[in-house]
Structures are given as C-alpha cells and as structure tokens.
Structure 1
Amino acid sequence: MRQHLSKRTVLSLAVAAMACGGAAHAQQGDPLYRYQWHLMNYGQSVLGDTKPAVGIDLGIDDLHDYNIRGRNVVVGVVDEGMQIAHPDLAANVVPDGSRNFNTGGPIHDPSPTQAGEGHGTAVGGIIGAVGWNGIGVRGVAPAARLKGFNFLSPRAGGSQADNIVYSWWDGAEAKDVAVSNNSWGAAPLLPPAFSENEVGAFEKPMAATRGGLGAIYVKAAGNHYNQHPVFFGLINACTAETRAANVGCTQAGFDPRNNLFNVMTIAAVNAAGVRSNYSSPGSALWVAGLGGEYGHQKPYSTQTNPLNFDPAIVTTDVSGCVNGYNSDAAAARLNALDSSQSTIDNTCNYTGRMNGTSAATPTVAGVSALVLQANPKLGYRDVRYILAATARQIDPAQPVVKHANGTVIAPGWTANAAGHRFSNWYGYGLVDATAAVERAMAFKPLPALLDSGWTRATVAAPVAIGGAGAPAKLQIRIDRAIAKVEGVQLGLETTYPITAGFLSTAPSPLLVTLTSPSGTKSYVVPAMTGVGATSAFTIPFIASNAFLDEKGEGTWTVEVADVPLAADAASKGNLTGFKIRVLGH
C-alpha cells in the first residue's frame, strides 16, 4: 500500500536518483490494477465479497513510480507452462530464452496447449506482467525479464528430477536466471530419504549461479494445512483429529527441497492479514507472501464456505475463453471478471481466482527482483537476509496451540536470542518491498559463509522417548566459530512406530524440538501432525530457520516427546540418532 509520509519515510535520495522518467510513466493505467490489492491496498472493493484489510499489501509504495520495477533482472518461472505470447507478458519475455520440455514442441516455447494449464501463466503475471500498457494487470516487478520452464507439463519428456536441475542451473536457458520461482512442491506422507550427498549436489551448483553470487530460489511451502490429498487428489489423507489440532496436516519441511539452504520457502497470507487457510506451516519457512483465498462473488458462486468469498490474486490467465481458469465453460463463472460476459474485462485473459502458496511465492520472487535491480551485487544470502530482516510481523495474536493435556505443541510468534521474531505460520513475516529495497541500497554483503558440516551425535545407548515431561534428548556441540546463524538443517532417527491406514495419515504423538546454544526452542514437528504408517519414524532431512543471527557455536539439543504418554506409562520407542549442520558467518 502506498503509505503517507507520517507512516513511512519516503525513499532515500539514493533510490530516488534511479528514477528515469518513471513518475510520468505511471500516469498511464492498467485497468485491473485497482483489483490488485496485493500491490496497493487502501481497503477498496475488489473481486470477492469482503474488502481487504487496509495496508495488507507488499509495501511497494512509490517504488514503481521511481522506476524500481525489476529492470534487467531475469526471472525463471519453473512451472507447468507459461504463455509467452500473452499480450500482457510478451514484452517482458526473453526471446528464445524459455525451455519447452514437451516432446516434439518448439524448444523455446513452453506455452500451455491444453485446458486446465493456466497455473504458470498466472504465476508469470504476478511476477512480471507489463505495466502501464493500457491493458490488464501489473506485475510486482513489471519490468523484469521472464523465462518459462515447463517441467511440470504432463507431456514433458525426460525425468522430472533432471528437468528441475536443467531449470535451476544446468540448462543453457537457466544460466542468466537471477530469480527462480517455484510454485510447486511435494507432500509425502512421511519425510522422504534425502542424503547429505543429495543436499550438496543441489546446494553447490545453486550457489555457483550468477557468477558465484547465487540465484534467488523461492519455493512454495504447500497448501496442506487442512488437507493432504493423495491418489490423484481424490482422497484426503488427513484425519479429522489432525485438522482439529490446528497444527497443519503436514509440515512444509517434509518436502526436502524446501529445506535447502539456497531456497526461501514461502507461506501465504490472505487479504485480512492472517494465514491463508491452506498455507502449510513449519520451521522450514523463511518469509510470507500474499496468496489470498478464493475470490468468489455472489450471485455468480453458490458456494457456502465464507472463505470462498474472500479476495484471491488478480493476474494473467491463458488468453481467450477456452483454456485457463477464466473461460466460457459451463459453471465456470464465479466472479465478475469471469467469462466473456464480464463487464470488467471480457477477454478472459485474466483471472481473479489465483491463490495458494503458488500465488504467494511469485509475490516474493517479484520483490526479490526489485531488490536485485536496486543492488545487483547482492548474493543470494544477502537477499534472503534482507527479506527476513525487513519483513513485517503480521497477525500478532497468532494462537499458541496446546495438546489436551496442556503441552504446547505449536507456538505463535517467538523471539529468538538475537531479537528476530519467527512464526511457524509466517517465517519472519510478510515481505515489505520498500523496506527491503531501502536496506539493499546500502547493504554491506555478508561475510564469507561458514559451514559446520554435518555432525552426528554420539549415542552410547538408545534413549527412551517419554512423555512431555520426560522427552528423549540428544546433544551435539558445534565447535566452528559461527558468530551468526543463517540456517540450520538436521535429521533424526527413532524406533517409534506409527500406525496409519492405507492412503491415510495418523496424528503423530511425537513432538520434535531443537534448542540452540542460546536457549531458543524451535518446534520442528508439532505433535498431532499427520504422518503415514512406518515401523520407525525418521526425519532424514529438515530445516529450522528460527535462529537467524544467533551464535552457532555451542551445544544444540534435540528433544522428542510422546506428548499423550502418561508419566508412568512404558515408552513405545527410542531416539537413536541425531545430526545437525549449522550455516552462517
């Protein structure tokens, strides 16, 4: 939202000096901009039957007017396909810069060709729809250069894993990508195997991109707070008990790529300034973007859930009224923008119903592009630090979640020993574009990265997992002189069995926490989280980002508690292993 001077100081002279006729340019309009509450929110009426809460936006303020628009920053849209000829994207698309993985198609055209494939085009518009061209919408970074990589296309050839590597760093078209947007992810029933060698095989080449500065990788946390779809989305594996516990059906860190040090994992916030109902929680989160809810309006929609009528994100859609989210298909009209009957825009080239962490992630990618335009010399560690340090704490009343026996199983906002506030719903908070750009302009690059390497606990004998008052504990001392933590990764092994039905999860009784040398406790896996059946619950690889700027040197403690277990009851399993890796400077 564009703030008044009494609420925020105007851009520094250094930023204002970058203006190149931008303010005059801004007089031209984008007709649907008024509905893009994520860009500027003064409580206006938008697509949805509720109005957004004033000020819940990306904090772009006057950046666009002063020509901070992501100019010359290349953003890769790694998705199912982006329509590169879309009239509101084409001018920002790098010619012959995209990659089509579909067998037999034009190699540099990843445009979707079938119905139901509007996702990548919507993502691309959130990041970099052309501004001030008299049509449609505006991107967060409306002068960024876009490339599409359609590795998620159902017709893509080759292995999906190889196509991710190609899109992230190895492909010719990926070599100049500065920001990589990844609005996709996995939601396994159990944390999957992901070895230390696999971690290195990703992180090292990712850090080497941009001539050693490292590209900015942003990735969706997932949409699994209230559901855990399996079997082609036909079955919800999440139990009513887990949903009632209010800890999320799964954790963002169960997708191993969300835990990579180079990746910022993004939560979603709605127009009321609280967690979007679907946004996956977890200690692996970094910051939050804006994802909204569903954008329905009466009388077009006959849904009964009030969340359906809260605003979603307005962005580009596959052009025409046949494919994409906005079409003339029967029963497809759910708000005033939908279909060729719309009196707002009858082209069907735009949608007002984009949502999910898939929508929140490109809002952060766009802000990252603005930051890199302001200071192209920043490394990936600098950008992730700036976004965390300048993020806004929203929803200060986020509730503490307790088990029926009174044990805290998921905290609200907590302050770490360095004074940074962290939430398993929002990471360090909602990104603030203007604050981040101002910080970037004068930012001194972080010192060289220090990496403790993987260190394993010495376990003389298995440690019984007791109840909340008697958790199993293992400790590791990190001797590397890391003065300020930037990230922590860990893994653990137990012999604790989990019983769950086929294609279902069970509410796990295990609470996993990690405590830093300074005493900050991170809730890595809350009790009651849904997990699949296993004879021995194991977490091969997960991240906790709650310790920013704390000291890394010292003793780190992992605890595993069987929260419902009575004090006099026999243990059902042991903690048998713990490893940790601390990164910082």
Structure 2
Amino acid sequence: MAGSGIGVNDNVVTFNRSYGSTAPVIFATDEIDETIVSYPTKELRHGLGALNIKSAGNSFVSAGGWPEASQMCNAQQAGIVEGASRVFSCFDGNWDSSNASFYTLSIGAVNSDGNHTSYSTAGSNLFVSAPAGEYGDTEPAMVTTDQTTCTRGYAGWPAYDNFMATNGSFLASLGIDNFHERVYPFNNPMGEYNDSNLSCNYTNTFNGTSSAAPNTSGVVNLIAEANPELSWREIRHILAATATQVDADDAPIELTVGDGTFVAHHGWVENAAGFSFNNLYGFGRPNAGAAVELAMADSVELPELVETEWLETVLDTPVAVPDNNADGASIEITVEEDVTIEGMQFGLSVRNTAMADAYMGNISGTTAGSDIAIEVTSPAGTKSVIATSRTSLGAYFGIGSLGGDLDHIYHPSSPLLTNAFLGESSAGTWTVRVVDTNGQDRGTFMNNTENSLVDQVNVRLFGH
C-alpha cells in the first residue's frame, strides 16, 4: 500500500475502522470505491488478506444531527410496540456503502447482558455484535484507556467543563449539586468521589459500535495468532460459526399493513445451512474461546473465492408496489450458478415521484422512501429483510439513493448486502418482495399518492 508504510507481506491481520457515513440517505459506490475497500482482503498478508472490521453505526434510536430524520422515525414507529418509541433502526446499516460491501465485516454492539444496545444500527449487512455497553451512568459502558492526562479525553477537564456548560444551569435550577461527580465519579477529574483515576488516563463511559469494532478486531487477531495460515475468509467463517446467539427471545415484529400483516423483523432465523442470523446482531456475539479452538483444529478450509458479475434483471414494464399492501410486489430471479454463499448483494431500482416532489418543494415531505421494505427469500425458503421499513429514508428533502435520479428511493449503485444466506446454495429461484408498509400521512410527511415502481433487480454472489 504505497505511502502507508504497510507492505503486502507484512503480518497485518485487521484494519479497525471505527468511523462511517451517517445521514438519512443511501450512499452510492463505484468501481474505485469497491477496489479500495477490497484491497486489504485481496492483496495483504502474503495474499491471505487482512480483514476490514468496521463499526455498523449508532443510529438505531438517534438520528444525530438530522432532526427531520428523528421526526420521521418517531412518527413512523409510534405505537408499533406498546411502550416502545423505536422498534426498527432509524437508519439502515446498508446505507453506508462501505458497510454494504462483502469485503467489510460490519460490527454491531451489545450490552453487558448480551442484548442489543439502545443505539446500534441494525441491518442485514451486520456480521457479528460485540460488547460495547451503554453510557456508563445507569448501565455499564466499556472501561478502557483514555487520552492521557486530565487535559483531554472522556475523563479530562474539557469534557467536564463542556458537560457543565451544557447542563450545569439546568441542574442547578433543579437544586441538584455535584451531579457529574456523583453520576460519573470515575470520569470526574476532581476525584472527589473516586480517587482511582486521578491521572484521568482511563474512562468507564466509552461505548458505541466504535467500541464494539476493536473488541472484534481483538478476537480476529487471536484467531490469526492461533492459526496464521488462515485466510481472511476462513477467519470470517470461524467468527460466524462460533458466535453466541444472544437474546434468544428476540421476537419477530409484525406490522399491520392494509388488511394484512408483514413481518418487518424476523428475529433469529436459522437458514438451510444451519447458520442463525438476526438483523440486530448478525450471527451473534463473538466467542473468542470457541473461535480460537476451531482455528487450532485446522478444520476450516475454503476454496478460492467466487465473485460473480452482476446478474441484471431489467423489467420492460415496471412493477407497481401497491400502497399500504402486505402482499407487495414480488419479482422472481433464477440463478443458474451453484455457489455456496458467503454473502450476497442486491441492487434495486425503486422509484416514486413523491421523492422528487419533496426535493423540489412541491410537497412538504413524503413517507414514500420510509414506507418501503424489501424482503428476499432464497430457493431454500430462508427470508432476509434487506431494507428496513419505517426508517428516516427520504426525510431530508425527499432524498433516497444518492446515485439515482430525484425520484429514486433505491438505485443499483447502492447495493444492499445480506449475510443471512451463509452456506446455502445459490442455485434456484429467488424471490424479491417489495412492500409499501404505510398508508398514512405523518405530520408534514405525506403518504405517496402514486404507487412506487420497481424497474430493476440485480444480484451478485460471493462464495465458493
């Protein structure tokens, strides 16, 4: 890698990528982007490949600096499950194009009890979910090293001063004194309630999928240390095969759509090859001990990677997606090539004129993008929701996929990755179902008055 100081034969096993693109739009990719993302896996470590371990994002509940996105998610998800303001991810993990790449392992976050954190972005692109915790106040976060000295970092004076500037007056008006010292004693630079971190070199409030990713990177490096001859794909396989299925009681979530119901979240689904997958967790929580044991057994050996060209299906007559109808529109695709699947990407063209109308200011906003769910059924009958509904998609001036036209919700330049079919055969008939899950206006976001249209469905296989 010219200019990086890393040679193709250096023993570099992982690139931890705790960053991402976060917005209520679907980012596009191109051949150059894909070459850059895949390069470490194809060229480094004597050709065995280094793994891209990437944080999935922290946008399950919060839309961050996108208030219109939060507004849409709140409106679209209110009342789905009693007592829950958020049941689906406000952003979908596939919206960040590098997270939708087969050559990236997207990492979600779990709590100390092994369940989904309040913030971890969900999607069919997830691979595993590692410990990261909550916020370190009422529920534990990660205890880790901080930036050194009390002049910076989570436990330093600037963080404390910022907290007090933001919250001090409000807390004082309630008659609450020493709030930071009592709630965050380990992070408080004064050390009044805790004298074990007077140097401010540690913190107990680190969290986010940016914390889960390096925890996974650590496990990956243990696997490679146990068996240095493993390729990146074999390490990837071991992670999936040994992951712990946390939150076993995670239940499917049904939406009432028109006169029917649609399963918008399937919970844990066991596929025909025996792998269990969940859009909240991927294959589960990494199990370092079991993974190292399997690596040392030297029993995992994968043939050369098969990466197909895109199998393009362009529909001469666009298929209408009926508004607020649980049946949706189904397109069948026959795959002749028999590949044992390691990952699959789908590229769809789904349009609605309401998206362009919202962008041009003809209407105040639209639910057209948020309403759409996309479900794929394999020849073996396994189902995977590759596009989450009731999200914030289109909340920002009606923008959907950045690679398409103004009316595009989804566009083939923004592939959707699913890991749910790991180990299954690709040969046979695949069914892609596109469902419009809503028929109501949501405040300033108006329900589409015309049906969305599907005019292209593409498939790309990765496997052996």
TM-score tier (shorter): 0.7 to 0.9
Partner of 2:222: 370
Measured in 2, the distance between the counterparts of 1:259 and 1:408 equals: 22
Deviation at 1:170, TM superposition (A): 4.5
TM-score relative to the length of structure 1: 0.65
Aligned equivalent of 1:390, options 235, 242, 252: 242
- Does residue 317 (structure 1) correspond to residue 146 (structure 2)? The answer is yes
1:188-203 map, 5 Å: 188-196=23-31, 198-203=33-38
Preserved CA contact (<8 Å) 1:267 1:289: yes
Partner of 1:305: none
Q: 1:186-245: per-residue Cα shift (whole Å, max 9, x none)?
A: 1232212213553245324542111211101100010000111236x9984653124535
Q: 1:134-193: per-residue Cα shift (whole Å, max 9, x none)?
A: xxxxxxxxxxxxxxxxxxxxxxxxxxxxxxxxxxx5443233332110111112322122
Aligned equivalent of 2:123, options 282, 285, 296: 282
Preserved CA contact (<8 Å) 1:340 1:347: no
Matched residue SS, 2:106: strand
Q: 1:217 to 1:205 in 2, by over 3 A?
A: closer
Partner of 1:524: 386
1:107-146 map, 5 Å: none
- Does residue 542 (structure 1) correspond to residue 416 (structure 2)? The answer is yes
1:287-306 map, 5 Å: 287-296=128-137
- Does residue 452 (structure 1) correspond to residue 284 (structure 2)? The answer is no
Partner of 1:53: none
Q: 1:171 to 1:439 in 2, by over 3 A?
A: farther
- Does residue 272 (structure 1) correspond to residue 127 (structure 2)? The answer is no
Preserved CA contact (<8 Å) 1:242 1:249: no
1:215-294 map, 5 Å: 215-230=50-65, 236=70, 238-244=72-78, 245=80, 246-294=87-135
Q: 1:363-396: per-residue Cα shift (whole Å, max 9, x none)?
A: 1001111111101111110111100110000101
Partner of 1:56: none
Paired letter, 1:452: T
Partner of 1:411: 266
Q: 1:320 to 1:543 in 2, by over 3 A?
A: same
Measured in 2, the distance between the counterparts of 1:429 and 1:481 equals: 27
Task: Give 5+ residue unaligned stretches, structure 2.
Answer: 81-86, 165-179, 400-406, 441-447
- Does residue 173 (structure 1) correspond to residue 35 (structure 2)? The answer is no
| Greater RCO, 1 or 2 (C-alpha within 8 Å, sep 6+) | 2
Measured in 2, the distance between the counterparts of 1:263 and 1:312 equals: 25
Matched residue SS, 1:407: strand
Q: 1:93-131: per-residue Cα shift (whole Å, max 9, x none)?
A: xxxxxxxxxxxxxxxxxxxxxxxxxxxxxxxxxxxxxxx
Paired letter, 2:95: F
Preserved CA contact (<8 Å) 2:40 2:52: no
Measured in 1, the distance between the counterparts of 2:285 and 2:275 equals: 14
Matched residue SS, 1:462: strand
Paired letter, 2:345: Q
Deviation at 1:526, TM superposition (A): 2.2
Paired letter, 2:433: E
Paired letter, 2:457: F
Preserved CA contact (<8 Å) 2:37 2:104: no
Q: 1:573 to 1:184 in 2, by over 3 A?
A: same
Aligned equivalent of 2:318, options 457, 462, 472: 462
- Which stretch of structure 1 is more off in the superposition, 245-254 or 431-440? 245-254
Measured in 2, the distance between the counterparts of 1:170 and 1:415 equals: 43
Aligned equivalent of 2:212, options 360, 365, 376: 360
Measured in 2, the distance between the counterparts of 1:170 and 1:278 equals: 37
Matched residue SS, 1:382: helix
Measured in 2, the distance between the counterparts of 1:275 and 1:459 equals: 39
Aligned equivalent of 1:493, options 311, 328, 349: 349
Q: 1:237 to 1:366 in 2, by over 3 A?
A: farther
Preserved CA contact (<8 Å) 1:488 1:545: yes
Matched residue SS, 1:203: helix
Preserved CA contact (<8 Å) 2:14 2:50: yes
Partner of 2:433: 559
Q: 1:407 to 1:473 in 2, by over 3 A?
A: closer
Preserved CA contact (<8 Å) 1:265 1:284: yes
Q: 1:204 to 1:182 in 2, by over 3 A?
A: closer
Partner of 1:186: 21
Preserved CA contact (<8 Å) 1:496 1:574: yes
Deviation at 1:520, TM superposition (A): 1.0
Deviation at 1:571, TM superposition (A): 5.4
Aligned equivalent of 2:186, options 334, 337, 350: 337
Q: 1:391 to 1:205 in 2, by over 3 A?
A: closer
Paired letter, 1:438: E
Preserved CA contact (<8 Å) 1:227 1:237: no
Deviation at 1:525, TM superposition (A): 1.2
Task: Give 5+ residue unaligned stretches, structure 1.
Answer: 1-168, 297-308
Deviation at 1:452, TM superposition (A): 2.1
Preserved CA contact (<8 Å) 1:498 1:508: no
Partner of 1:427: 282
Partner of 1:157: none
Give the % identical residues: 34
Paired letter, 2:27: P
Measured in 2, the distance between the counterparts of 1:415 and 1:537 equals: 30
Matched residue SS, 2:241: helix
Deviation at 1:478, TM superposition (A): 2.3
Q: 1:197 to 1:363 in 2, by over 3 A?
A: same
Measured in 2, the distance between the counterparts of 1:285 and 1:205 equals: 19
Paired letter, 2:210: S
Deviation at 1:398, TM superposition (A): 1.1
- Which stretch of structure 1 is more off in the superposition, 371-380 or 197-206? 197-206
Paired letter, 1:314: V
Paired letter, 1:512: I
- Which stretch of structure 1 is more off in the superposition, 492-501 or 349-358? 492-501
Preserved CA contact (<8 Å) 1:267 1:357: yes
Q: 1:570 to 1:278 in 2, by over 3 A?
A: closer
- Which stretch of structure 1 is more off in the superposition, 234-243 or 203-212? 234-243
Measured in 1, the distance between the counterparts of 2:185 and 2:40 equals: 46
Matched residue SS, 2:185: coil
Deviation at 1:504, TM superposition (A): 8.7
Q: Which has the higher strand share?
A: 2
Preserved CA contact (<8 Å) 2:314 2:455: no
The aligned length equals 401
Measured in 2, the distance between the counterparts of 1:183 and 1:344 equals: 28
